[in-house]
Amino acid sequence: MFRNYIKPVLGILFLILAFFVSVGFQNTSIPTTNYPLETPALEDGDGYLKHTGYAFVYNETHEQAKWVAYCLTKKETEGSHERTDHFVEDPIVKTGTATNADYSKSGFDRGHLAPAADMKWSEIAMDESFYYSNMSPQLPAFNRGIWKKLEEQVRDWAISLDSILIVTGPILSESLSSIGANKVSVPKFYYKAILDFKGTHSKAIAFVMPNQGSKAPLMSFAVTIDELEKLTGMNFFYQLEDHLEKSIEAKICPTCWP
């Protein structure tokens, strides 16, 4: 007798479960991606921190992030949340970050590492993109010129490739000039490393740009991941299988990037 009710009851339970799962995915602020977030290998002294839209390691000596890493998907680029332009100190950096006063009248822009336009899929992610832990002193001609052009190109790649992983940051070194009472270092170069993870068809490319205006084509700044690792002393995409990591980090294929 009870067997006659088993299938109908299971069917109803399945529909209820499917409903709640569907609602859960619709309300989540972090969209799913094709692969997990792979940050650079952590070194001694690195403090791994994470916000809604990006992960990072903060460098207290230079008062800015050592690197910022996040996935960007095609769907995320379709978000509609607008810029807040509300720059604030980062509450999860316990040692403190730069402040408005550090940048005031310095002649430098508060340059985003993870661009605000990449975070428009979430109101929280947008707000957190304006934390000073995500800022670095950039000359206006650089921040509003060639750097912005690279950010736009990366978004285009996220659209055409469906999803990519981005690691970006300043190249930090000793004896850099600084601004403000907190001595925020002014980097001479910035980088972006981009990974398109598609199994055996994966590819990667990196860019290293001087902190100055330029009208040169973007590809003139392209380098291999191996070259970027030598410049920064960091190990990018180390979680890939060894043979795949070795293959994609040693070469650039400009025609592979639409």
Residues acting as catalytic residues: 112
Dig out the tokens for 125 from the structure.
Answer: 């992610």
Dig out the tokens for 99 from the structure.
Answer: 């402040």
Rounded to 5 degrees, what angle do the CA atoms 161, 74, 143 make?
90
State how far the alpha carbon of 12 is from the alpha carbons of 7, 76, 157, in Å.
9, 34, 43
Closest CA to 79 of 146, 35, 113, 129: 129
Dig out the tokens for 106 from the structure.
Answer: 């310095």
CA atoms of 12 and 6, how far apart (whole Å): 10
